[in-house]
Structure 1
Amino acid sequence: MTREVLGWWLVTRVGLLVLSVSAPLLFNRGSDYPNVWRAWVQWDVWHLKALAEFGYNNGEPSQAPLAAFFPGFPLLVHIVQWSGVGYVGAGIVVSAVASAVAGVYLARLAQYEFPELKNLGPNAAVVWYGAPVGVFLAAGYTEALFCAFAFPAWLAARQGRWARAAVFVALAATVRVSGIFLAFALVVEFVTSKKRDWPSAPWLLLPAVPVVGFMAYLKEIHGSWFAWQDAQEKGWQRKFTWPWTSLQHTFDAASTGYFGGDRSDWTWMFRAELVALVVGLIVLGWLLWRRSWGEAAWIAATVGAFCTSYWVYSLTRATLLWWPLWIGLAVVLHRHRWLGRLYLSVAIPLAAIWAAGFFTGRWTG
């Protein structure tokens, strides 16, 4: 199973590499020959690169408040760049290795949950690698590294190995704020599991350590325990908003002409955010029906956080963290082969368009 998953990982990485070279050449708007290496340095890659290079206490070299990003990914990039590949190359290397590890554990988790479905594990990995937003598993973003910790964490939790699960969740909590939601889901899973082991319960406190440590560090250099939230509000308008108001803002942003000028990429991305929200609610309903309380808590916490921001923003990328979505989709495709063909006929072109949009600097989530 591992060999098959890694084979699909390699094939999809090669495909994204081809797109990173071809998209800037085919869709170059200027007269100069484009720098295809520059295709990988888009949006949050700039901020994470600046953080890996300069740290938290050197202003805003990428023109964004860097306290908005957790330290796990940039710290690892800083270490890997010592090999001589540079900061951008190090980000790509970290995501490449992490996506390989995450794909293997997603396959193992899928097979553990549905042992009666032969070859489900590799199919779940293929669906995940081929996701419409799969480009973010290859670029220097945090999704792949988070999943490399979150997927084995959940497999350990399902097996009743709570200490191991808590260690992996703690590592995930160094990468993204989503680690807090994952820690909450782990507690729910522990309480509702038939494999709960009360002597192991103190391990569930471990994920709080890196979060509190990061907050204390930001307090030391920025003077506020909530510098992360302040940075999110300053740079991305992620301030608390009632869900109905957040949805109204998102519907407005998804309407033609809202941004004015040539910003159709923003309009269509907000439409994609609404689609991702619907998908999240469907998955949540399925998990509640299955009484998968821990996973339902994970999806509910994630969706809830996005729906209480100024607008639903970057939820499309967050779907990559939803292992129940990709395992559930693999189950449906296993039982209804024609749906598998239909899904691939839509997902593959979408993934290519999404990647081409990212590599040419258009907003893609």
Structure 2
Amino acid sequence: MLTRSPARDALVVWLGSRAGLLLMTLLGVSFGQYLHRWRQWDAGLFVTIAEYGYDGEPGRQPDAGLPAFFPGMPLVLRAVHLVVPDWSAAGLIVSLVAGAVAMVALARLAELEGARGWAAVLALVLFPVAVFLTAGYSESLFLAFAIPAWLAARRERWAAAAVLAAGASCVRITGLFLAAALIVEFWRSGQPVRRAPWLVVPFLPLAAYSFYHFTRTGDWLAWKSAQEAGWGRELVWPWDAWTITWQAAMGEGEAAAPFRMEIAGAVVAVAALVWLLVLRRWSEAVYVGLQAAALMTSAYYLSLPRSLLLWFPLWVAIAGLATRRPWVIVVYALVSGPLMVLNTVRFLSGAWAG
């Protein structure tokens, strides 16, 4: 008789769900067409950086938004491309392998919190915008560093936590929020001061990346300037961001649908933050709260639902609730699963889905 293994359960849920998703979306198209359909939006931008660097494709107008993407994903993508000729296939493989690492770590983290690991994984892979865990985006790769980093911190392995968090900081600016949360976790757990220098390590990739672009452009905050130039993401008061997003969401036509998703994502974000504060999960609240603050003080809400994929405390909390009340995961799957399929179809058709 097999003993229960959180890692095995996580891999079964992850690989099974990805196989089903890929098979469903493969029907009716050739393999070449299929790979091209996955090269949408940011996936194509990551390929551009991996292939040509931050100056973009030679002979074309430079994309001012490229420095907004941290180098971790393009570097890994370029390495995989050495053995996988198709860029889109390389992106899918990176996300598949990184996702497997992330899901195993998520299951183990949930088990450490007294919840069912497979429930946390299932909640994540069925989230409405979980397509971005499969596409050649940076979410899976970030989680493959961030969740093991947090797991190591909870086990008081601070050297490993710091190095893994540094890896996360190479992939997304979200690594900065993870680094801040690790400081709070370090203080909360009463660690000896001699271990504190490790907490500096996750900030080093941001410093190196900023210096790199300073040598190119003279701008220490080139990644922030790229957000403003490429997407108009300037700092505004939160009520102004809400008003602009609400007006766009209440409009008519196809353009309104993504903004309605953003509104829903904001509601979930606030609820998750309040939940963590009520539970006095201070370090997780810092990780979630800093992201929520950054996203909800932008000129308008953009990619807020997608950012929820990175909130591993949310998935652990849902797993804890589902462990005590099994019907929760059933209702969640019935509501969220169809939305995930719908958004996957939207993404592959070229519509903005997250």
The question of 1:202 aligning with 2:197 is answered: yes
Separation of aligned partners in 2, 1:57 and 1:101: 32
Task: Give the aligned partner of residue 12 of structure 1.
Answer: 17
Residue 69 (structure 1) shift: 0.5
Q: 2:212 aligns with which of 210, 217, 221?
A: 217
* Correspondences of 1:117-128 after superposition (within 5 Å): 117=115, 120-128=116-124
Q: 1:62 to 1:49 in 2, by over 3 A?
A: farther
Q: 1:62 to 1:107 in 2, by over 3 A?
A: farther
Separation of aligned partners in 1, 2:315 and 2:211: 36
* Unpaired stretches in structure 1, ≥5 consecutive residues: 26-31, 258-262
Deviations 1:97-145 (A, max 9, x none): 000000000000000111xx4xx01221122122211111110000000
Separation of aligned partners in 2, 1:307 and 1:359: 27
Q: 1:227 aligns with which of 206, 222, 227?
A: 222
Contact map agreement 1:20 1:40 (CA 8 A) in 2: no
* Correspondences of 1:78-97 after superposition (within 5 Å): 78-97=78-97
Task: Give the aligned partner of residue 48 of structure 1.
Answer: 46
The question of 1:73 aligning with 2:65 is answered: no
- Supply the AA of the counterpart residue of 2:165: V
The question of 1:153 aligning with 2:149 is answered: yes
Separation of aligned partners in 2, 1:57 and 1:246: 31
Separation of aligned partners in 1, 2:346 and 2:24: 10
Separation of aligned partners in 2, 1:269 and 1:152: 31
Residue 58 (structure 1) shift: 4.0
Secondary structure class of the residue paired with 1:342: helix
Residue 20 (structure 1) shift: 2.8
Residue 92 (structure 1) shift: 0.9
- Supply the AA of the counterpart residue of 1:55: G
Task: Give the aligned partner of residue 103 of structure 1.
Answer: 103
Separation of aligned partners in 1, 2:187 and 2:61: 45
* Unpaired stretches in structure 2, ≥5 consecutive residues: 1-5
The question of 1:281 aligning with 2:281 is answered: no
- Supply the AA of the counterpart residue of 2:179: A
- Supply the AA of the counterpart residue of 1:332: L
Q: 1:34 to 1:81 in 2, by over 3 A?
A: closer
Separation of aligned partners in 1, 2:56 and 2:44: 15
Separation of aligned partners in 2, 1:295 and 1:123: 19
Contact map agreement 2:266 2:304 (CA 8 A) in 1: yes
- Supply the AA of the counterpart residue of 1:157: A
Deviations 1:333-360 (A, max 9, x none): 2222222221111111011001111111
Separation of aligned partners in 2, 1:197 and 1:85: 49
Q: Which moved more, 1:94-103 or 1:127-136?
A: 127-136
Contact map agreement 2:35 2:88 (CA 8 A) in 1: no
Q: 2:186 aligns with which of 181, 186, 190?
A: 190
Contact map agreement 2:123 2:329 (CA 8 A) in 1: no
Separation of aligned partners in 2, 1:82 and 1:61: 27
Separation of aligned partners in 1, 2:32 and 2:151: 44
- Supply the AA of the counterpart residue of 1:211: L
Q: 1:53 to 1:357 in 2, by over 3 A?
A: same
Could you tell me the TM-score, scaled by structure 2's length?
Answer: 0.94
Separation of aligned partners in 2, 1:301 and 1:64: 26
Deviations 1:28-48 (A, max 9, x none): xxxx99922221011111111
Q: 1:303 aligns with which of 289, 292, 296?
A: 292
Separation of aligned partners in 1, 2:218 and 2:87: 29
Task: Give the aligned partner of residue 260 of structure 1.
Answer: none
- Supply the AA of the counterpart residue of 2:316: I
Q: 1:172 to 1:61 in 2, by over 3 A?
A: farther
Q: CA RMSD in A?
A: 1.9
Separation of aligned partners in 2, 1:79 and 1:64: 25
Secondary structure class of the residue paired with 1:207: helix
